[in-house]
């Protein structure tokens, strides 16, 4: 059949066509062989035409190119070699017996519906002589190829792996020097190292796959370029995508969830030896968890626990009792005490501990015959059948507040009533989409009116452990009417058994058992059967999503002396650790039944809470909370320092993984992915990358949303949503030409410092048009970063400890422009030890401490604060701008702080500073020894200038206006504030001006002349003239005589003065209420905006304006005009300046300033 390749159901000459599942017909009395060559290609055995075989390899050997071999159900112990162009279809199981399941050495080959296990490699495709092409692996299942790979393509092109499941191998699918292939609709999960691995393999499509619980989900190794990876679902891999020295790859529309939660309990786990095997008994010390947020603080940990061990779970082993305590969850454990007690009691009794906080160590005795409820409802739905027996069938707990109501027959004759409850708390985040409300706890009975009334509530009740336990609550004397009970929890508590016991509580004798050894070592991680761990199914590799906590853990070996008392000398356990503990067995009393009680003291913390990935800070008994305040610390006596040095020597560096990681790979496009991280996960991490685009991704709940380091260049980060990352939304270290624009960045930085966007040693980059809100440790931070532009961002309601935006440690030549910095906790903008920065035209309002703060620490010379609006910092001691100069020649904190101030040449001009408690503070303690701050030409909220007691060091003017106060600390002459906006300087002779501010007392030319003359005390102003553009002539008012006219905002005027004079106008700002009619010819207009402009700007923005002219009042002459079309003679125009503009043509227009 050379020249004709018909491959069953999928491909003709490498083209994908529709799948056709042909039925296998049953033909009368003919017995179909298990294996046959389907010559007629009809999917059924045709007697006389098709040939039957007992071994698959025999059929392959007998086939010719183009044949279809049909293999029926069954398990075949074979290692197949396909060396001809055939199709192998059916539904068999191949036991590869430690070898290669199927080796494909030919083109145009199909393997479909095969299951392969127990091999080194499931399917191996390679030919030493030529490049293989057009191979299809479809709908196969491959597992338990531990030594190597599920599917291995070596030098293969134009082939498909489709609808195939690969799990429990080292590498799921491996492409080696293989290009233009397709991996689609596969499930590649639970492989030790790689889900899908490419090496020197390019132009492949990896689409619509499920890739879960591998160390690396998809790994592109060296020179694996131009691959398209889209619409895949990756969950709980160590790294979702890892791209190493591979370029031009596209990663889009993938769902990447780096978290994997099972209930799992709260470690440590307790296993006991029953004479034959170890059994799981309980999870310990769930209430000892650290750093749980509560009421703007942290919940106090309760590290003490008492766990009942039933007698048949712990048996004598050669005179000893054996227990194992394991740390199997992603936590750090601080175990301080283990004690074991024996309780010999009547065989008619069961022993349990209390559910109330003050009874966690109390031993309750209950009879073995319990009184069952007559009805039970959970959240209004009947659940009686689920709670009548301890059978592992639990209630649903499907509401935000789960209320279990049970009722009993008349119990009035009982001398004691003890409620028995067996259940567990399911702490899996997002259970049924709900938020755990663990503070809600109550036990209620009905009062006389039938209303439910609390018997116990809140902190009186503990939340059950995360693995099933039985608890007792004494309700004797608590019932008022009937015997109905409601038990409510805001967390997801599932109940298996509820009953009542009425037998009298008996006293029991408790005997302590000697601990004779305790050995700490690594064990691994149990697999789970339902909600319970299986001690004998253990993996030595941590689940891929587990964190790698850092710090000094307790050394392996004998740890007995650390577990004998509560003394803050812990066995600090890393996940995967186990302590094997041996106790000396004691004889049981004759005629009694034995129950054991394990007493433990243990703190633990997990990666999801603050400091959860570091050993330090260590907890201790006397701490007020955790994390504890700065004035508290772990004991530092010689005894404890010796403990730390001698016992905690096992160091872990710590590692954080990533949803997408790109070390040294260029031109990558990452777009439209959804990435759910975890506290130990970077969502996207680039290392040494150039020319990458990160666009339109949604990133949630990671340690850091986007992390760039090691000299990334030319990275474009745009249109992403980044929320709830514990460290930082976007972090860039040693970056160049990074563009971060149009991102929504919120709720980040709550676990550590970092906040919204953080630059460290990053230069020539742009942060623009981003929306940053509720980032806890600052929206934007620059550290030793230079020549960056921070433009047009919304920095709103960030609740950081210090600032909305900050520049630290020598960050220089940065431009902060056109941002809205509003309602941030702390400073709006903080400048510390960072010179030559410009803060321009920002709106800075209602921040909690100050609008702009220039810190005492270090050199922040040459800061320019120009054209900003700074308002609403009106609480006590708040300022629009605060420059902290320090103590000159003084003593601060016991150190010589002479000349500590470094902030020289700060310029503050053309700002609108109003409605602040202080407009500007330049705080100096001691006599000023540095240059004054130049803060001229600012609007202070009133045209008559700032208030306070400042004496201008240049003009000797006093700040006695009605605007915001300016203040110099212990100095009163360190701010140069004169002139300010609202102050008008007039020369003898003619002056051409406009009103810089507006006053209801100055509405006409006569009003203006009288205002000036009234301040001067004589008639210094004699004539005020305006230009009538419609008539192209002047109209004059002789003050007090004739010719009065109305004044308009934005109109220019001539004022004739007998002498030089300056005055202030008690008024408000004008902009933007300018409405001037402009005509053909000359027009006299004035500049009323706070920021200066230029003649060319005005000329180019007025249609048909050809020139702009000005008058120099000091020399009483016209200066050269600005010729607009030729851009000649440009000049500056400040607020209060008037200019003539000439329009050579055009209709009448309106000018708005």
Interval 644-676: pLDDT, tens:
999 999 998 877 778 899 899 999 999 999 999
Please tell me the distance from the alpha carbon of residue 645 to that of residue 638, in angstroms, as a whole number. 10
Same domain, residue pair 336 and 410: no
Same domain, residue pair 339 and 413: no
- Residue whose entry in the numeric block shows the structure tokens 């703190």: 603
Q: DSSP letters of 117-177?
A: ESSSEEEEE--SSS-EE-EEEES-EEEEEEEEEEEEEESEES-EEES-EEEEEEEEEEEES
Last residue in a domain, options 134, 162, 192: 192
Number of domains within the chain: 5
- Residue whose entry in the numeric block shows the structure tokens 């620059």: 782
Token digits of residue 643: 């403990």
| Beta pairing partners, 694 | 670, 717
Residue 453: pLDDT band by 50, 70, 90 thresholds? very high
Same domain, residue pair 828 and 906: yes
Same domain, residue pair 539 and 415: no
Token digits of residue 499: 């009953």
pLDDT digits (tens, 9 = 90+) for 58-67: 999 999 999 9
Residue 892: pLDDT band by 50, 70, 90 thresholds? very low
pLDDT of residue 790: 98
Cβ proximity of 592 and 640 under 8 Å: no
- Residue whose entry in the numeric block shows the structure tokens 């051409």: 992
- Does 436 have pLDDT greater than 90? no
| Beta pairing partners, 1094 | 1132
Same domain, residue pair 159 and 55: yes
Has residue 616 been placed in a domain? yes
Last residue in a domain, options 635, 652, 669: 652
Same domain, residue pair 987 and 977: no
Domain hosting 324: range is 269-346+509-652
Residue 7: pLDDT band by 50, 70, 90 thresholds? very low
Token digits of residue 298: 């942290």
pLDDT digits (tens, 9 = 90+) for 691-704: 999 999 999 988 89
> How much of the chain, in percent, has pLDDT values that exceed 70?
92
Has residue 211 been placed in a domain? no
Residue 31: pLDDT band by 50, 70, 90 thresholds? low
Same domain, residue pair 943 and 1071: no
Distances (CA, A) of 884 to 269, 424, 853, 970: 55, 56, 8, 12
- The average pLDDT across 322-347 equals 94
Query: Greatest CA span in the chain, whole angstroms?
Result: 132
> How much of the chain, in percent, has pLDDT values that exceed 90?
74
Residue 801: pLDDT band by 50, 70, 90 thresholds? low
Please tell me the distance from the alpha carbon of residue 988 to that of residue 1116, in angstroms, as a whole number. 9
Distance of CA 26 to the CA centre of its chain: 60
Q: For residue 430, report the phi and psi dihedrals to the nearest 5 degrees.
A: 75, 20
- Residue whose entry in the numeric block shows the structure tokens 């209060």: 1136
Token digits of residue 387: 């709670």
Provide the pairing of β-strand 997-998 with 1068-1069: antiparallel
pLDDT of residue 371: 96
Q: What is the CATH number of the domain that holds 83?
A: 2.160.20
Q: For residue 545, report the phi and psi dihedrals to the nearest 5 degrees.
A: -85, -5
| Beta pairing partners, 457 | 442
Q: Mean pLDDT across the chain, nearest whole number?
A: 89
Query: Is omega for the bond preceding 268 within 30 degrees of 0, making it cis?
Result: yes
Token digits of residue 1100: 């180019």
- Does 302 have pLDDT greater than 70? yes
- Does 293 have pLDDT greater than 90? no
Token digits of residue 105: 């050495």
Token digits of residue 906: 């700060």
Distances (CA, A) of 742 to 153, 259, 692: 42, 27, 16
Has residue 551 been placed in a domain? yes
pLDDT digits (tens, 9 = 90+) for 765-785: 999 999 999 888 889 999 999
- The average pLDDT across 704-709 equals 94
Same domain, residue pair 342 and 363: no
Please tell me the distance from the alpha carbon of residue 727 to that of residue 677, in angstroms, as a whole number. 12
Cβ proximity of 396 and 387 under 8 Å: no
Has residue 47 been placed in a domain? yes
Distances (CA, A) of 321 to 170, 336, 582, 1059: 39, 20, 6, 107
Same domain, residue pair 960 and 1028: no
Q: Worst-scoring range by mean pLDDT, 107-111, 182-186, 997-1001, 1139-1143?
A: 997-1001
Last residue in a domain, options 442, 473, 501: 501
Has residue 243 been placed in a domain? no
Q: For residue 643, report the phi and psi dihedrals to the nearest 5 degrees.
A: -60, -50
pLDDT of residue 931: 72
Residue closest to 483 by CA, chosen among 534, 423, 419:
419
- Does 2 have pLDDT greater than 80? no
Has residue 229 been placed in a domain? no
Please tell me the distance from the alpha carbon of residue 198 to that of residue 243, in angstroms, as a whole number. 10
- Does 592 have pLDDT greater than 60? yes
- Does 814 have pLDDT greater than 90? yes
Please tell me the distance from the alpha carbon of residue 15 to that of residue 861, in angstroms, as a whole number. 69
Same domain, residue pair 277 and 361: no
Same domain, residue pair 975 and 851: yes
Has residue 42 been placed in a domain? yes
Has residue 63 been placed in a domain? yes
Q: What is the CATH number of the domain that holds 457?
A: 2.60.120.260
- The average pLDDT across 883-908 equals 62
- The average pLDDT across 195-202 equals 97
Same domain, residue pair 1092 and 967: no
Residue 182: pLDDT band by 50, 70, 90 thresholds? very high
pLDDT of residue 288: 87
pLDDT of residue 432: 36
- Does 350 have pLDDT greater than 70? yes
Cβ proximity of 752 and 780 under 8 Å: no
């Amino acid at each position: 059949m050379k020249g004709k390749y018909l491959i069953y159901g999928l491909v003709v000459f490498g083209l994908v066509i529709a799948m056709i599942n042909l039925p296998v017909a049953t033909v009368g009395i003919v017995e179909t062989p298990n294996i046959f060559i389907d010559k007629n290609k009809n999917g059924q055995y045709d007697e006389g035409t098709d040939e039957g075989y007992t071994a698959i390899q025999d059929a392959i050997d007998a086939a010719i190119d183009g044949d279809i071999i049909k293999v029926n159900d069954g398990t075949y112990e074979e290692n197949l070699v396909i060396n001809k162009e055939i199709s192998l279809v059916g539904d068999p199981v191949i036991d590869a017996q430690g070898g290669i399941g199927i080796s494909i050495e030919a083109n145009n080959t199909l393997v479909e519906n095969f299951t392969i296990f127990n091999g080194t490699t499931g399917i191996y495709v390679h030919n030493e002589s030529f490049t293989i092409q057009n191979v299809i692996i479809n709908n196969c299942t491959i597992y338990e190829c531990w030594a190597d790979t599920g599917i291995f393509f070596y030098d293969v092109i134009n082939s498909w792996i489709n609808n195939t499941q690969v799990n429990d191998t080292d590498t799921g699918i491996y492409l080696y020097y293989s290009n233009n292939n397709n991996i689609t609709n596969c499930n590649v999960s639970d492989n030790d190292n790689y889900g899908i691995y490419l090496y020197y393999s390019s132009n492949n499509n990896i689409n619509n796959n499920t890739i879960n619980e591998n160390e690396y989900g998809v790994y592109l190794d060296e020179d694996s370029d131009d691959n398209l990876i889209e619409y895949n679902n990756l969950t709980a891999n160590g790294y979702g995508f890892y791209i190493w020295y591979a370029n031009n790859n596209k990663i889009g529309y993938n769902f990447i969830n780096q978290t994997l939660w099972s209930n799992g309990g709260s470690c440590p786990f307790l296993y006991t030896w029953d004479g034959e095997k170890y059994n799981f008994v309980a999870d310990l010390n769930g209430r000892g968890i650290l750093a749980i947020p509560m009421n703007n603080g942290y919940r106090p940990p309760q590290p003490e626990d008492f766990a009942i061990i039933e007698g048949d779970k712990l048996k004598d082993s050669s005179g000893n009792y054996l227990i194992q305590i394991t740390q199997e969850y992603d936590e750090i454990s601080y175990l301080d005490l283990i004690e074991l007690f024996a309780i010999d009691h009547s065989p008619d009794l069961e022993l349990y501990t209390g559910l109330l906080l003050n009874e966690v160590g109390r031993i309750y005795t209950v009879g073995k015959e319990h009184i069952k409820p007559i009805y039970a409802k959970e959240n209004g739905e009947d659940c009686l059948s689920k709670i009548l027996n301890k059978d592992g069938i639990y209630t649903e707990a499907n509401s935000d507040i789960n209320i279990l109501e049970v009722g009993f027959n008349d119990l009035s004759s009982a001398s004691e009533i003890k409620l028995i409850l067996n259940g567990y708390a399911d702490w899996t985040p997002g259970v049924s989409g709900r938020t755990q409300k663990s503070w809600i706890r109550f036990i209620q009975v009905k009062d006389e009116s039938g209303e439910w009334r609390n018997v116990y509530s809140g902190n009186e009740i503990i939340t059950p452990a995360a693995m099933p336990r039985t608890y007792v609550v004494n309700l004797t004397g608590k019932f008022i009417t009937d015997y109905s009970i409601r038990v409510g929890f805001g967390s997801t508590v599932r109940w298996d058994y509820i009953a009542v016991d009425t037998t009298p509580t008996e006293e029991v004798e408790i005997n302590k058992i000697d601990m004779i050894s305790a050995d700490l070592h690594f064990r691994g991680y149990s697999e789970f059967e339902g909600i319970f761990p299986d001690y004998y199914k253990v993996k030595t590799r941590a689940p891929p999503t587990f964190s790698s906590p850092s710090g000094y853990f307790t050394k392996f070996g004998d740890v007995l002396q650390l577990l004998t008392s509560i003394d803050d000398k812990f066995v600090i356990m890393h996940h995967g650790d186990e302590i094997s503990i041996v106790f000396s067995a004691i004889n049981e009393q004759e005629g009694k039944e034995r129950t054991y009680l394990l007493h433990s003291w243990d703190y633990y913390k997990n990666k999801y809470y603050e400091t959860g990935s570091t050993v330090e800070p260590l907890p201790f008994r006397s701490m007020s909370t955790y994390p504890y305040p700065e004035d508290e610390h772990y004991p530092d006596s010689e005894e404890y320092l010796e403990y730390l040095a001698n016992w905690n020597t096992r160091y872990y560096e710590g590692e954080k993984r990533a949803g997408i990681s790109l070390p040294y790979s260029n031109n990558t496009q990452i777009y439209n992915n959804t990435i759910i991280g975890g506290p130990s996960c970077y969502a996207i991490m680039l290392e040494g990358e150039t020319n990458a685009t990160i666009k339109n991704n949604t990133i949630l709940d990671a340690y850091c949303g986007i992390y760039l380091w090691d000299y990334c260049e030319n990275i474009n980060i745009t249109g992403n949503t980044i929320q709830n990352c514990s460290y930082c939304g976007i972090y860039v270290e040693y970056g160049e030409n990074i563009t971060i624009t149009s991102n929504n960045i919120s709720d980040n930085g709550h676990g550590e410092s970092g906040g919204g966007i953080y630059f460290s040693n990053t230069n020539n980059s742009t942060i623009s048009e981003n929306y940053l809100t509720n980032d806890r440790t600052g929206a934007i931070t620059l550290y030793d970063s230079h020549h960056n532009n921070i433009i047009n961002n919304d920095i709103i309601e960030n609740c950081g400890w210090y600032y909305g935006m900050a520049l630290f440690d020598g960050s220089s030549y940065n431009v902060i422009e056109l941002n809205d910095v509003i309602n941030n906790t702390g400073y709006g903008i903080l400048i510390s030890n960072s010179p030559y920065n410009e803060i321009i035209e920002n709106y800075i309002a209602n921040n909690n401490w100050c609008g702009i703060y220039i810190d005492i620490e270090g050199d922040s010379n040459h800061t320019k604060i120009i054209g900003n609006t700074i308002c609403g910092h009106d609480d006590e001691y708040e300022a629009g701008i605060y420059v902290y100069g320090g103590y000159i020649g003084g003593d601060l904190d016991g150190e010589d702080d002479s000349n500590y101030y470094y902030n020289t040449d700060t310029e503050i001009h053309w700002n609108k500073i109003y409605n602040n408690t202080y407009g500007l503070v330049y705080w100096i303690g001691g006599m000023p020894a540095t240059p004054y701050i130049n803060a001229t030409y600012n609007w202070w909220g009133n045209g008559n200038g700032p208030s306070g007691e400042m004496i201008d060091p240049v003009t000797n003017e006093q700040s006695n206006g009605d605007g915001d106060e300016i203040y110099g600390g212990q100095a009163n002459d360190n701010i140069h504030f004169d002139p300010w906006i609202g102050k008008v300087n007039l020369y003898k002779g003619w002056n051409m001006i406009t009103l810089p501010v507006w006053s209801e007392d100055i509405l006409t030319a006569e009003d203006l002349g009288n205002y000036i003359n009234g301040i001067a005390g004589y008639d210094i102003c004699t004539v005020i003239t305006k230009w009538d553009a419609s008539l192209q002539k002047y109209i004059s008012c002789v003050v007090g005589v004739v010719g009065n006219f109305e004044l308009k905002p934005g109109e220019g005027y001539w004022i004739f003065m007998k002498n030089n004079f300056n005055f202030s106008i008690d008024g408000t700002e004008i902009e933007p209420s300018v409405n001037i009619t402009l005509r053909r010819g000359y027009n006299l207009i004035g500049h009323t905006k706070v920021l200066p402009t230029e003649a060319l700007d005005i000329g180019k923005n007025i249609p048909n304006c050809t020139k702009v002219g000005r008058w120099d009042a000091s020399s009483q002459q016209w200066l050269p005009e600005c010729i607009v079309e030729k851009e000649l003679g440009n000049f500056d125009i400040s607020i209060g300046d008037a200019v003539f503009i000439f329009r050579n043509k055009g209709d009448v227009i309106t000018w708005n300033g």
